[in-house]
Amino acid sequence: MLISNVSKDMRIKSDVYEFFVEGKNHHLSHVLLHIASPGKPDGENQGYFFVLAEMDNPEAAILHTLEDLIRDGENLYYGGYDGETMQAPDPETRHFESVIEKLNRKAKTLLSNERAYKIHMAVGVIRNNRLSFAYRGELCALLAYMSAEGPSYTSITDEASYPEHMFFSSVIEGNFTTDEAVYLSTPHITKYLSSDRIAKMIVGKPAKQSIQQIQKTLEGISSEYSFGGIVITGSEIHTEIPKAPKPNYRTNIGSEESMDRLLDTTRSTEDTLSPKVFSHIAKTFAGGFKKNEESEEDVPVLHATKETNPGKYRRKRRAEQIPTYDTGGSLLIILGKIIVWTTKALFYVIKTLSIALGKFLAIFWTLATNYNGGRKILLEQYADARQRMVDKFTALGIFGKILLLILIIGIGILTGSIIYTKEKEKVMAREEAYASEMALLIDTKKEIDAYVLYGDHAKALESLRTIDAKLATLTHDTPEKQKRADDLKSELHTLLLKVQKITAIIPEKIVDIREAHENARTDALVFMGDRLVASGTNDTGLYFISTLTGLIEKKNVETAHRLAYGYVAKDASQLVFTSGDNTIVAYSTDTDSIASKTITYPNQNVVLSDIALYNGRLYTLDRANGALYRHNPTQIGFDNGTSWVTSQTDPTQLKNAISFALDGDLYALTENGKVLKYSAGVEQLFTIQGLDPVLESPTQIETKSEFANIYILEPSKKRIIVLDKNGNFKKQFQSDTWINPTGFAITDTEKEAYVLDATTVYKFKL
């Protein structure tokens, strides 16, 4: 978009070009770009009012406040001058300062909000070829010009401005010439376009073409961020030169002095809001200085980059006497001829190579097959041709030989340069793409840090998966790139552990049962008072391990039953196990003996997966029939039992259950990682929330009425997971020391956990 503003003397026209590119992530950044012009002719001297703002991680309330500030600023600026302004030495400048003072007072509420430090904003006006603006944050502001070395630039603002007691800290004013361009944009653009590249885009070419190039470049990036900015240029309006007194010659001024002129009036709004003593003396001095300036400007002098206006007038008079030569046109003609000659030469080379390739294939076929005896003829022709070439080369003079050699070298250099240029372009494109991708990944990593800081683990996990997948697709083809990628991977891994709440532990080894009993084959573990009891489906003994001394005592089962799952009564007076034929074996602490118990079941073909004691009753899990039974005690064992579950969403889901635990409610663990909760026989809604990675192949679940948490063992990931009794994930413990843990037990105080890995028992703190 183009907006023109012509100066009073009709010599310089200011053109304002704007660009805006919307980002893919609206929650990451928000850009406000506003340019307003006076609504009536008598307001033309006030010029154009503009606002450029960006906010990271935008908040609706703050955005509404910024929009109100923009409307207030526009209304204040075009509302007319007050009495104080009309009496000022420079009413237009004083009027803009007054607008900034009032905006500072209106924006005081923003300073109490931490999010205000994520706002980057500029408010300014363009009057003729004069720019005035105030800013906050890290906006990119450049004065670009053409120097002897090529397009150059100077930064107008400091690196950052975050005043604590006012929103805008300073006003910057100055003029720009026809050979200069002023660039203002949101800060995220500098991640993709350097200041040097921006200067090359906007200097030395039509401004409309420059703004289109910036727009297309930013659209091609497809960034998560939104971008916005303006480019201000000046162009000369050619009018008839009136007769005037002899011009006042001035020395040449360049872009460095022009920059000094642009920054000649940086005023502190703090001084304006809190006037110093004797400030009227300074105003009087400033008024006198302004009068002197006006007296110097009686003679119209344009600020050129290389020469003053009188020099321009002299060039026009000489142009009437001396014929002009279009040097640019001649260079274009020469360049065109070179391109045509080069194209013809390339075509000739390609044509010659194609003909030579066809002849070579024909010769190869003849030599390979000796078709019609052509092999001998070809060899003779080859010998004759070689001799003729030698004779022709010998006949050439020294100058001819040199020209031939130069031609061959030139063709080689031309071909090589074309190949090199194309390859270099590909390498540069790959490097730019890699740098851009890595910059985006680092930005995403910063977002993850923020998510973790504010406890948004779901978004953190999603972003971690995205960045990890993207990092895997990049090619790190240099040691520096590989090191950078490895460092980023390490940081991401640390973040992942924090998000997943993984505690990597080195457990303490308590005892290896096999060292005392070499035939031990244990795979289950229960906690009983101050002892651990280990058993196994392929072992006929029970191993009692002291948690204090580590001593092991073995008790043989009187029958030939193989012991499987065990459970301890709440008073620790009895320990029951399932056996291979669905019978129950019990150990009594009173008699210190092991004996079989009679038991029957409501269904046939029962396959027990787990058992539990609660309030003297025995609960059994039948996988084959997908049922949970409750058995009352008898003098010699337990009765036939009844089906305990009375209501559930899927009658077959207990066929996948492998373990369960009781605390008044019953929690059944399925082999695919689902937990089913029943209360008084009725299924309740229960979902594991926040766990990553999710359960895939767990084997054991444990809890008690006195426990605050639920514990689940997953051997494949070498971890024990802790949930609260509403299903919310709390933490997980993981150890590389374990090989294939098959059983675990939690102490009654929930302060320690014991893990059985083959025949080795480990301990760690919860």
Closest to 701 measured CA to CA, from 746, 749, 730, 661: 661
Q: How many CB atoms lie within 10 A of CB 326?
A: 9
| Beta strands in 137-210, from DSSP E residues, in sequence order | 140-147, 150-155, 170-175, 180-185
pLDDT tens digits, one per residue of 31-73: 999 998 776 555 556 788 999 999 888 888 888 888 888 998 8
Rg (C-alpha) for the chain, rounded Å, is 43
| Topology (CATH) of 508-765 | Methylamine Dehydrogenase; Chain H (2.130.10)
- Of the chain, the end-to-end C-alpha distance in Å amounts to 65
Tell me the per-residue pLDDT of 377-427, one tens digit each, with 9 for 90 and over: 778 777 878 887 887 778 778 888 888 889 889 999 999 999 999 989 888
Does the pLDDT value for residue 312 go beyond 50? no
pLDDT (mean) for 257-266:
41
* pLDDT band with cut points at 50, 70 and 90 for residue 262: very low
d(CA 61, CA 30): 13
Check residue 642 and give its pLDDT.
94
Given pLDDT bands bounded at 50, 70 and 90, which one contains residue 267? very low
pLDDT interval class at 633 (50, 70, 90): very high
Nearest to 92 by CA among 2, 9, 175: 175
- Asked whether residue 283 carries a pLDDT value surpassing 50, the answer given is no
662 pLDDT tier (thresholds 50, 70, 90): very high
What is the pLDDT averaged over residues 659-676? 94
- Residue 338 tokens read as 């070179």
pLDDT band per the 50, 70, 90 thresholds, residue 5: low
Model pLDDT for residues 335-348, shown as the tens digit of each residue: 888 888 889 888 88
Contact indicator for 606, 581 with CB cutoff of 8 Å: no
User: Distance between CA 705 and CA 242 in Å, rounded?
Assistant: 102
- The reply to whether omega before 693 is within 30° of 0 (cis) is yes
CATH number for the domain running over 2-320: 3.60.40.10
**What is the residue-averaged pLDDT of the chain?**
80
What's the count of helices (H) and strands (E) in the chain, helices before strands? 16, 37
- Go through 357-377 and write b for each residue having 16 or more CB atoms within 10 A of its CB, e for each that does not: eeeeeeeeebeeeeeeebeee
pLDDT of 739 strictly over 50:
yes
pLDDT at 374: 77
pLDDT in tens, 130-160: 899 998 888 899 999 988 888 999 998 876 7
pTM: 0.47
Tell me how far apart the alpha carbons of residues 8 and 694 are, in angstroms, rounded to a whole number: 72
Which among 689, 586, 598, 695 is positioned nearest to 638, based on CA atoms? 598
Residues of 744-762 as b/e, b for ≥16 C-beta within 10 angstroms? Answer: bbbeeebeebbbbbbbbbb
What is the DSSP code (8-state) at residue 137? B
CA distance 685 to 34: 53
Question: Which of the 8 DSSP states describes residue 560?
Answer: S
When mean pLDDT is compared across 107-116, 165-174, 181-190, 216-225, the lowest value belongs to 107-116
| Confidence (pLDDT) at 4 | 53
Q: Per-residue pLDDT for 285 more than 50?
A: no
CA pseudo-torsion sign 280, 93, 131, 168: positive
pLDDT tens figures, 678-727: 999 999 999 999 898 999 999 999 999 999 999 999 999 999 999 999 99
Confidence of residue 183 (pLDDT cuts 50, 70, 90): very high
State the DSSP string of 622-687: ETTTTEEEEE-B-SSBB---EE---B-S-TTGGGGEEEEEESSSEEEEETTS-EEEEETTEEE---
500-540 tens-digit pLDDT: 889 999 999 999 999 999 989 998 999 988 899 998 888 88
Mean pLDDT calculated for residue range 566-585: 75
Looking at residue 44, its pLDDT comes to 56
Residue 306, pLDDT > 70, answer: no
pLDDT at 475 over 80: yes
Per-residue pLDDT, averaged over 93-122, amounts to 83
pLDDT computed for residue 391 by the predictor: 77
SS3 sequence of 5-68: EECCCCCEEEEEEEEEECCCCCCCEEEEEEEECCCCHHHHHHCEEEEEEEEECCCHHHHHHHHH
Q: 248-276: buried (b, 16+ CB within 10 Å) or exposed (e) per residue?
A: eeeeebebeebbebbeeeebebeebeeee
Percent of the chain with pLDDT over 90: 29
Helices assigned H by DSSP within 454-565: 457-473, 479-500, 513-516
User: Is pLDDT of 185 > 80?
Assistant: yes
The per-residue pLDDT for 337 is 84
Q: Indicate if the pLDDT at residue 176 is higher than 70.
A: yes
- pLDDT over 70 at 1, yes or no: no
Judged against a pLDDT cut of 80, whether residue 256 lies above it is answered with no
What is the average pLDDT across 366-387? 79
Among 90-104, 228-242, 372-386, 483-497, the range scoring the smallest mean pLDDT is 228-242
Return the domain boundaries, the chain: 2-320, 327-395, 423-500, 508-765
At 219, the amino acid letter reads E
Site of tokens 């805008």? 168
Among residues 93, 73, 70, 91, which one has the least CA distance to residue 82? 91
- How are beta strands 729-734 and 719-724 bridged, if at all? antiparallel
Return the amino acid letter for 298.
D
